[in-house]
Amino acid sequence: MSDEIAKSDRFDDRVALITGAGQGVGRQAARIFAARGAGVAVLDRVKERAEAVVAEIEAAGGKAIALGADVSSEEEIGKAVAETEAALGPVDFLVANHTIHPCGTVLETEPVEWDLMLDINLGGTFLASRAVLPGMIERRRGVIIGLSSDCVVRSCRDAAAYVASKAAINGLIRSIAIDHGADGVRANIVTPGVTKTPGLEQVYTNNRDLDESTARAAGQSPMNRIGLPEEVAEGIAFLCSERASFITGAELLVDGGMTVSYSGD
């Protein structure tokens, strides 16, 4: 039985394309998928970050390629998928992990900032999904993971555009699940809580004291801490594994209980 369980966690002869994979959750997901046998396309807006992750994977004996692309560009996403297929094979798993997180209420958010947020967070997930779906449907096999936010569940102050973009991702992923379940494609949402990533540290540093903000966030969790990138990445890997073969259109909260205990920011 233990051998069967171990096998169901493996990604041998599979290919994962992970966006926003140069740091944080994406980096850890790339490392986990590679360690479990997948070929991994590490995509990041800053290619040097992707190359650093690939170096880590290769040093551990894994197989990966680095891609630099703007996820809001249909042309660049199409090229990235083509490069992935040429180097590693057809994409079995898409993890749409990329995100930007400018702060502001509706009145504080300029229309150009709103458009950029939707183009990257939501548009990038749409374009990447649209690029890999035909191959998944043809092979009748594939998994798409969209990254949401606990702010969609509990709402957050001063993040109107960010929360809206993440809520829209939830709807998009569920639509993919409904439309393409009969084609052999599963689509699920992973919703992290406050997680120790470079992006979070930047947001906290820009708006408040980093240590104070981290301590406040930790106090909102019954576990009295914030999450780690590898904990979110493990949730992503589970939903892509054979152990989740009958799970689609679902949302997995990886938040240390923050959304059930949150009392306001």
262: annotated active-site residue: no
Identify whether residues 243 and 158 lie together within a single domain: yes
Q: What is the pLDDT of residue 79?
A: 99
Q: From the candidates 23, 162, 176, 200, which is the catalytic residue?
A: 162
- What is the mean predicted confidence (pLDDT) over 13-33? 98
Residue 61 lies in a domain: yes
Identify whether residues 111 and 217 lie together within a single domain: no
Identify whether residues 219 and 128 lie together within a single domain: no
Per DSSP, what are the bridge partners of residue 113?
A: none
Question: Phi, psi at residue 230, to the nearest 5°?
Answer: -65, -25
Q: What is the pLDDT of residue 262?
A: 62
Residue 185 lies in a domain: yes
Residue 260 lies in a domain: no
Q: What is the pLDDT of residue 245?
A: 98
Identify whether residues 12 and 132 lie together within a single domain: yes
Residues 6+ apart with CB under 8 A from 215: none
Identify whether residues 127 and 200 lie together within a single domain: no
Identify whether residues 104 and 222 lie together within a single domain: no
Report the domain count for the chain: 2
Q: What is the pLDDT of residue 259?
A: 87
Reported as a single tens digit per residue, the pLDDT across 156-206 is 899 999 999 999 999 999 999 999 999 999 999 999 999 887 766 666 556
Looking up residue 142, the CATH number of its domain turns out to be: 3.40.50.720
Residues 6+ apart with CB under 8 A from 138: none
Nearest to 239 by CA among 200, 185, 165: 185
Residue 242 lies in a domain: yes
Residue 204 lies in a domain: yes
Reported as a single tens digit per residue, the pLDDT across 108-122 is 999 999 999 999 999
Residue 259 lies in a domain: no
Reported as a single tens digit per residue, the pLDDT across 233-253 is 999 999 999 999 999 999 999
Identify whether residues 9 and 47 lie together within a single domain: yes
Identify whether residues 12 and 118 lie together within a single domain: yes
Per DSSP, what are the bridge partners of residue 16?
A: 40, 93
Identify whether residues 205 and 144 lie together within a single domain: no
Residue 171 lies in a domain: yes
Whether residue 124 is predicted with pLDDT greater than 70 in this model: the reply is: yes
Which structural domain, as residue segments, surrounds residue 131?
A: 2-192+232-251
CB-based burial, 170-209: b 16+ in 10 Å, e otherwise? bebbbebbeebeeeebbbbbbbbbbbbbeebeebbeeeee
Identify whether residues 203 and 139 lie together within a single domain: no
Q: What is the pLDDT of residue 68?
A: 99
Q: To the nearest whole number, what is the mean pLDDT of the chain?
A: 93
Q: Residue 143: helix, strand or coil by DSSP?
A: strand
Mark residue 225 as left, alpha or beta (left: phi above 0; alpha: psi -120 to 50; beta: remaining). beta
Reported as a single tens digit per residue, the pLDDT across 137-148 is 999 999 999 999
- What is the mean predicted confidence (pLDDT) over 94-109? 95
Q: What is the pLDDT of residue 220?
A: 82
User: In the structure encoding, which two tokens stand for residue 136, read together?
Assistant: 């998944």
Identify whether residues 72 and 92 lie together within a single domain: yes
Q: What is the pLDDT of residue 239?
A: 99
Identify whether residues 112 and 201 lie together within a single domain: no
Reported as a single tens digit per residue, the pLDDT across 39-89 is 999 999 999 999 999 999 999 999 999 999 999 999 999 999 999 999 999
Reported as a single tens digit per residue, the pLDDT across 201-235 is 666 556 566 777 778 878 888 999 989 999 999 99
Could you tell me how many residues make up the chain? 265
Q: What is the pLDDT of residue 6?
A: 73
Residue 173 lies in a domain: yes
